[in-house]
Structure 1
Amino acid sequence: MKMKLNITSVMLALGIVSVLTSCLKDTKTPADPSLGTNNVVEFMNSSVPISYTSIYPQYDNGVTLVGDTGGFNVNVNWTGAQYDAPTDITVSIAIDTAALTAFNNDQGTSYILPPTDVFSVPSSIVIKKGTPSTITRFTVTGASDYDYTKSYCLPLTITSSSYGVVSSNYGTAMYTFVLNNKYAGTYTTTGYFFHPSSPRAISGDYRVYTTGVTTNKFPIGDLPAGGNPYYFVASTPDGGGALTGYTAAGNAPASPASGFMTLDNPGNVNYSGAAPNAPGTSPYLSSTYNNSYDATKKIYWLHVGYAGGATGQTGYTRQVYMEMVSDQ
């Protein structure tokens, strides 16, 4: 009986090893020459893959736009009996929509191919003789038809190689990406939310989201939290200055029932519960919180208000003053 248990344990261990070694991504890097893999061309990790169980490796990229252009790296590797490529190797690459469909079905995702004017993919790249790999910068742009609400992916496949064979595990890879303009990110936020019945200080880290090349979605006070988020969208001028184009977002009331404020409590709302804090009393002054961006210090000074049915700022019973300092 004891001998049978030992044999069973060995067989179980061997089975586990067999399963692990057959997984798509059992290590964080593709094949290594020291493992004896000969003359293989493959995509190499440009970051830690999102999943180690998907049918194709997925690399997620946050792309920061400079102007309207950004990019991310795609690494292609040669693995052979010697560490470096013995000759120049031309590797042909193509978009593989069938692979994207298979990946979505496998992972339960809904990635789509971006519009053609958003990305630029070379038809081939070269691993130079005497080097083990090459890094190519793929360009993406914030074109007018880029939809910031969509989940985009570039499904890339190595279609051929002038030397060696294409890897069966790493010959196809998914490169997902999100465009971020230079204003997006996390901001340390302080200020005050003047409310007739629930006045409160604002303090926390809040995100500013990209909605366009120069437009972003901003929080209204502490209301992004929970299931009833209040936001607004506005454009920041290059070089700093006054924000423009206020548009309510989330559950915030549409203009004119919400908007930028230029006056301190113009409707004389009773905020006695906020004492000693009061709109128009330092530091909560519209001259300071003037809906502008200081590009040098990377600080937003925001003053917004809202109230259901209001026709302008004199009717705003909720008034928010926020200083948002970039963590970047």
Structure 2
Amino acid sequence: MDARRAQDLLKHITQDEDYGLKAMQKASLAECISMVNNVLPECQKKAYEDGNDNDAGFFSKMTENYRALIIDKIKEENLLWIAYTDLTGYPYMIDGDMIVIYDFAAAKQIEADLNKAGYRVTFGNVDKDAFKTEIAHMYRNGYKKICFMDGKMEPFVVEREELYPYGEFFKDDYITNPGLQAAMLNYFQEFRKQAPLENRGDILKRREQIMIDMMLNAEYMVPCVKEETEEEVEISHHFIDITDRVTEKEEGEHVIAIPVFTDGFEMDKCYEGHHENMLYKFDELVSLMDELGASGIIINCLGISYFMRTALMKKILK
């Protein structure tokens, strides 16, 4: 936004009876963000420097009021771009947050910078309904905030709760593991990054430990088939042959994984309409692997798709 347009909006805010409400409602999302991120805070700063507390308070109040207007505009915006990474198949995560672009001209440069760093990022456009769905996935996957960017100024950072509350998407008894999902995404995004491992050892070790801690404390949904007779209930589990996908294996070994999931959405990717499942803690999964003679578990096989051998499960359980 050029200086003339900024001055025009500022004039409406300081002189109109509605404090510029109509003008800001007609302004674009980018213009409103520029006013709240840059123009109004600068006016507030200058007022403080001049010792004018009344004006400083006014600009502070306007910044707060128009933040709410921006949130409403975002929810009605029909063209936004979300940064996704091929490394995980999920939105690119930066410090637990998601990146959304509201000015596509900036997306190409941001995309180029992230790809140069090895993150294999592409921007996918979403309308307001698809964007709302992404907020639901933010709750599942542990993303905390959204950084709205145009590549020119500081991001406009929004808490997911400012957009839509958890209860809009899920009931209290819906099983989710956002901490584990976020830890896995954070770890594998860095681990699978297309860049030399040098100088990344410490950060990978820290992220891996966080992921392991989350794994040990999580509950997992395991799809199963229950057959009831007059005498007992027989339970059988699904399995996936991933022999061809595993590079490190013994000669002639068949690698059989038991699929486990962090929530119902991830499970429905593989077993849509299949509602029979059991909840297992990590130590119970270890016992199940021994009972079934499986090679290990595969977590969210159509999501993060992480295979963990039984031997490693036992090792981290100690």
Interval of TM-score (by shorter of Structure 1 and Structure 2): under 0.3
Question: What TM-score, normalized by structure 1, do the two folds share?
Answer: 0.26
Greater C-alpha radius of gyration: 1
Higher relative contact order (CA 8 A, sep 6+): 1
Question: What TM-score, normalized by structure 2, do the two folds share?
Answer: 0.27
Structure with greater helix percent: 2
Structure with greater strand percent: 1
